[in-house]
Amino acid sequence: MEVNVEARRILAVSISKLYASRTQRGGLRLHRSLLLSMVMRSARDIYHSSRETEGQTSEEPMETSSKEGCDSEITEDKENMSPTKQSRKRRGKASAAPDFLPSKRARLEPGEERYAAPMGSWRFDPPPTHIAHQGADLHQRSRDRGITGTMVQALRSI
């Protein structure tokens, strides 16, 4: 559990660092981005495996307490536990979006409606202010897509 919390914290810190490095003077640093993505990958793997362990331990009381007539439910729960099908079934606590991720719903700060962009497209279509502030542009980003691509995959799989 502690490892899970630690992994989540490191993931959150890493994402914010990666995000902040995009507006750094001199552009994205490949070395730094690579190291950040490696830490994120380790943290994501630990987080995944610890959540799977948690999911297995929480399944046991259900099985022992309601054996009759629960076969279909258990089958459904097993389906829920499968990582590939998790998102399709009804959302249990285990599959809720982690709270350290930015909300997908765009929240507009007052006076900034013109510059807001939907969360899902931030990695490819930054708001105009990013370009004005020497952020990495599409050209740079497509070349470094390996790093951000890895990060995006990490976010998707959580």
Residues contributing to the site for other proteins (CB under 8 A): 6-7, 10, 13, 17, 25-27, 29-32, 34-35, 38-39, 42-43, 46, 131, 134-137, 139-140, 143-147, 149-150
Q: What is the DSSP string of 95-136?
A: GSPPTTSPPSS--PPTT-GGG---GGGTTTS--HHHHHTT--
Q: Which is nearer to other proteins, 82 or 134 (CB)?
A: 134
Question: Cα 14 to chain center, whole Å?
Answer: 11
**Smallest distance, other proteins to C-beta of residue 108, A:** 25
**Smallest distance, other proteins to C-beta of residue 17, A:** 8
Q: Which is nearer to other proteins, 41 or 89 (CB)?
A: 41
**Smallest distance, other proteins to C-beta of residue 122, A:** 17
CB 27 within 8 A of CB 140: yes
In one letter, which amino acid is 155? L
Handedness of CA 80, 93, 14, 118 (dihedral sign): positive
Three-state secondary structure call for residue 109:
coil
Q: Which is nearer to other proteins, 89 or 123 (CB)?
A: 123
Task: Take residue 139 and report the two structure tokens written for it.
Answer: 């050209």
Q: Which is nearer to other proteins, 32 or 89 (CB)?
A: 32
**Smallest distance, other proteins to C-beta of residue 34, A:** 6
